[in-house]
Structure 1
């Protein structure tokens, strides 16, 4: 059984882009630190680079998070490797992240967000599934995306791996209310913390959905998410979440 679907007695603690409050986001340093801080898992962003590898980075360009410039999809893996992603860290591949977190003393969960809004038909979903299958880590992976069509493709490619639809309170109504949900089989909803109330979470649970919320960084928001009954809390500091929950 996939560990994301296990019964829980407290919200899962998920490091947003790793322990990104304490190390450069979406780097191996941030992911390994999340393990050390006692997170249950991590959230990470993936897209395809010019040479076809699945790399871990949030933005369409490298401008914000590295010392370079350019679109990720226009740069080769070799070119991406030459960039400094902070404190000497490099942009990792999905393979490297899976390997780096495989040695945890507990099943360490991976929420892999598929970033394909700008290039929805570049084969990213197929490549991501191939990487996960190659490492045999299907039981600790959850796929997510803002793009319901990507969620649909993931359901077709890997029906055994759970999926979540991402959205936030500032989106247009048709996205915020997930009108395309019937076309995209999924087990999880991933609303931002601005949408979270006990009533909102209860409504989604009544529909059979689990709720992971993001990005939850203040003590007040962490407590509100927990008391609202969410399945998982995604935040930049697993330490801060643990402290607020008294774990």
Structure 2
């Protein structure tokens, strides 16, 4: 039985791959950004950079581009091109909710949990996704790296920002984090979240999620309310 002291009071959810299915739009938007910076499609350089993008799914995108291009100016150019391309793909109707995601969020809210949606994208892209799904009013608070001082995953900053802003939990042990990437897991573990749940609807598989700190691995976020009802 779950005691009141240990009941989850705040749930921090990733978006793309966890609550939102984007059908590989990250890779398509990356290809556009890379081409703008002169990276030839099909070249070894393109393949190497794409492999890094895949390996770092969940990380703040500007951080990814800083690693790939080194120079801050080039990184910002690439990031702007990426966000523009991704936003246009979103506006084209190429995203959808993960089945059961909205219902899971609504169930968590109805149970008394605060729910915060987070992303590694910039605010303009996050808002485009929310608008495309009709989710602007789904939860009271959504966060991107800029809202947490500029550091995205794998840092714990967005989880801790959600903790501080919502004031819903008495301690981080009452926080649950769910995401589809190893960086989501690292972020939750570093924040000290009581539950760090990986989901298998996105970028990374069971082993990668577990090795990065997942306390649980679920088929999808739709299973999260039942996990929390059972106390983990």
Q: Same fold (TM over 0.5)?
A: no
Q: Which of the pair has the greater relative contact order for Cα pairs under 8 Å at 6+ separation?
A: 2
Range of TM-score over shorter length: 0.3 to 0.5
TM-score (norm 1): 0.33
More strand by percentage? 1
The structure that is helix-richer by fraction is: 2
